[in-house]
């Protein structure tokens, strides 16, 4: 049977049963209308949240995390999970991006302690930290106690036993010669040389978010002194703390004799520092990762902070970043987005329930049609229709009904959105970030809605179409 012939028969059938089919189609259309409306609403809420309310003009680009990648990493021991220098270049090349800041996380553990002189009690915390290229923040720090840069070229490296053996500003640091920590299990500890040398403290950045978190959650709970940027600037001498590299309260520890202490100097507060943790010049993190997690851990960046030219550009930048095969991690926006996402899923489930019920209605209608067209099916079989021909007639009818319901549903959704927008704009008082429209009908929403309509209609008509195809022609003709 040719497609033209089939379409002709189907067209005539739809025309003939237009009343019963329209009633069933309305159910699907109503479901699709809700589906489209909810998707467009969630899309617009996400636009407003991600584009206007939360991240303003900054996002954090992370590698696309897939189970396959992780599996490859585990099997081959390769650090495929990370961003290379080429990736950073690609991200920098995206239109609308004005600034990129590659970040490298600690790939090992560490415990920091200190702060007694400043807050009145010694604080011990698991170290969460990353590194960024220091030149990117050098300009914004006002009168830092120490420049935010790799200080090692400027230190004396003189052999020492105590801090007092070192020049002013330096301290006596423990160092190791030999293979990095992950490989020490394979070597004789006696071959690793441990020595002490004078070093300058590592410049460290805090974030305002961390400061705020300390002041509102941590300090009141423990009765510690509250901190602010001004106080930090005054108390520069007290702004040192010690980190024991390789130690941990919770994670796996590096063998005890390979752990060592490094002194840190807080040099300022920056937006570019990580939110809940501290940030060092990237050279230190790279070397420590090399020392404690192996060279593979030091080869790639964990993420790239991206600033767009303006907040209007951010949604385009996000889209392009995703198209290039990366993912986005945006802190608060992510949390808000996940709430929006959950809300969206609930709304989608509601619309899917409506469409499913409509699908059952379609099934019922098609069963009725099969019953109604029994003799016709028998005749078709007598004049040479195969079972597949009969089934296809019904399925193609379902496809057409699905397409029509999809288009009708979207038209309903669009009309509904106009009504809602008019009501919300005229009746609801102005509130922060109130958008011009509450719905964003993206092309993918239109395509998905129509595809859903067709799929549900075809699925609904499938069993009846099989029954039609299996009808005994002799009985059907009686």
The footprint of another protein (CB under 8 A) covers: 1-2, 4-6, 8-9, 12, 15-16, 375-376, 378-389, 472-474, 477
Query: Radius of gyration (Cα) for the chain, nearest Å?
Result: 33
Q: How far is the CB of 379 from another protein (least distance, A)?
A: 5
Task: Kindly give the pairing relationship between strand 278-281 and strand 129-132.
Answer: parallel
Structure-token match 């288009």, residue found = 407
Q: How far is the CB of 469 from another protein (least distance, A)?
A: 9
Q: How far is the CB of 1 from another protein (least distance, A)?
A: 5
Angle, alpha carbons 310-314-316 (nearest 5°): 120
Pick 371 or 388: Cβ nearer another protein: 388
Backbone angles phi, psi at 457, to 5 degrees: -70, -45
3-state secondary structure of 224: coil
Q: Give the separation between CA 29 and CA 351, rounded to whole angstroms.
A: 11
Q: Give the separation between CA 362 and CA 26, rounded to whole angstroms.
A: 10
Pick 255 or 474: Cβ nearer another protein: 474
Q: Give the separation between CA 273 and CA 208, rounded to whole angstroms.
A: 9
Q: How far is the CB of 473 from another protein (least distance, A)?
A: 5
Pick 135 or 386: Cβ nearer another protein: 386
Instruction: Return the axis-axis angle of helices 443-470 and 18-48, rounded to nearest 10°.
Output: 150
Q: How far is the CB of 31 from another protein (least distance, A)?
A: 30
Backbone angles phi, psi at 249, to 5 degrees: -85, -30
Q: Give the separation between CA 366 and CA 372, rounded to whole angstroms.
A: 9
Pick 11 or 325: Cβ nearer another protein: 11
Pick 388 or 419: Cβ nearer another protein: 388
Nearest to 312 by CA among 100, 96, 99: 96
The residues, ordered by sequence, that sit 6+ positions from 69 with a Cβ below 8 Å of its Cβ are: 63, 80, 81
Q: How far is the CB of 25 from another protein (least distance, A)?
A: 19
Q: How far is the CB of 363 from another protein (least distance, A)?
A: 23
Pick 124 or 387: Cβ nearer another protein: 387
Q: How far is the CB of 359 from another protein (least distance, A)?
A: 27
Q: How far is the CB of 426 from another protein (least distance, A)?
A: 50
Nearest to 245 by CA among 122, 107, 118, 132: 107
Go through the chain and tell me how many residues it has.
478
Pick 5 or 95: Cβ nearer another protein: 5
Pick 242 or 389: Cβ nearer another protein: 389
Q: Give the separation between CA 115 and CA 425, rounded to whole angstroms.
A: 53
Q: What is the DSSP letter of 51?
A: I
H runs (alpha helix) in 275-330: 282-293, 314-323
Pick 10 or 210: Cβ nearer another protein: 10
Residue 419 neighbours by CB distance under 10 Å? 10
């Amino acid at each position: 049977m040719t497609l033209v012939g089939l379409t002709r028969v189907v067209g005539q059938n739809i025309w003939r049963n237009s009343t019963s089919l329209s009633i069933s189609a309305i159910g699907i259309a109503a479901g699709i209308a809700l589906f489209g409306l909810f998707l467009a609403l969630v899309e617009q809420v996400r636009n407003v949240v991600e584009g206007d309310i939360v991240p303003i003009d900054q996002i954090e680009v992370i590698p696309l995390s897939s189970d396959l990648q992780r599996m490859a990493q585990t099997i081959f021991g390769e650090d495929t999970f990370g961003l290379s220098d080429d990736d950073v270049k690609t991200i920098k090349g995206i239109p609308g991006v004005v600034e990129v800041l590659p970040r490298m996380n600690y790939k090992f553990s560490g415990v920091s302690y200190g702060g007694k002189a400043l807050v009145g009690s010694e604080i011990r915390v698991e170290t969460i930290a990353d590194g960024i290229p220091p030149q990117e923040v050098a300009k914004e720090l006002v009168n830092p106690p120490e420049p935010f840069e790799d200080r090692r070229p400027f230190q004396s490296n003189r052999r020492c036993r105590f801090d007092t053996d070192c020049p002013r500003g330096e301290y006596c640091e423990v160092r190791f010669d030999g293979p990095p920590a992950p490989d020490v299990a394979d070597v004789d500890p006696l071959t690793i040389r441990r020595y002490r040398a004078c070093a300058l403290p590592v410049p460290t950045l805090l974030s305002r978010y961390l400061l705020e978190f300390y002041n509102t959650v941590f300090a009141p709970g423990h009765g510690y002194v509250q901190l602010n940027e001004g106080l930090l600037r005054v108390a520069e001498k007290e702004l040192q703390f010690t980190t024991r590299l390789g130690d941990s309260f919770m994670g796996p520890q590096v063998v005890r004799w390979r752990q060592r202490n490094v002194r840190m100097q807080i040099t300022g507060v920056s937006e570019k520092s990580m939110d809940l943790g501290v940030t060092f010049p990237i050279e230190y993190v790279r070397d420590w990762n090399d020392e404690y997690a192996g060279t593979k851990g030091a080869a790639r960046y964990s993420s790239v902070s991206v600033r767009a030219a303006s907040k209007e550009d951010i949604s385009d930048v996000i889209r392009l970043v995703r198209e290039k095969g990366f993912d986005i991690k945006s802190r608060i926006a992510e949390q808000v987005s996940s709430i929006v996402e959950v809300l969206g899923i609930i709304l989608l489930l509601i619309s899917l329930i409506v469409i499913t019920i409509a699908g059952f209605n379609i099934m019922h209608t098609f069963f009725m049609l099969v019953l109604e067209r029994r003799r016709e099916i028998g005749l078709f079989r007598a004049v040479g229709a195969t079972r597949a021909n009969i089934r296809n007639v019904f399925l193609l009818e379902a496809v057409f009904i699905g397409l029509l319901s999809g288009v009708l549903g979207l038209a309903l959704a669009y009309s509904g959105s106009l009504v809602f927008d008019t009501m919300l704009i005229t009746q609801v008082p102005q509130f922060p970030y109130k958008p011009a429209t509450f719905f964003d009908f993206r092309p993918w929403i239109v395509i998905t809605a129509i595809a859903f309509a067709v799929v549900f209609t075809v699925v609904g008509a499938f069993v009846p179409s099989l029954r039609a195809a299996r009808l005994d022609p002799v009985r059907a003709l009686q």
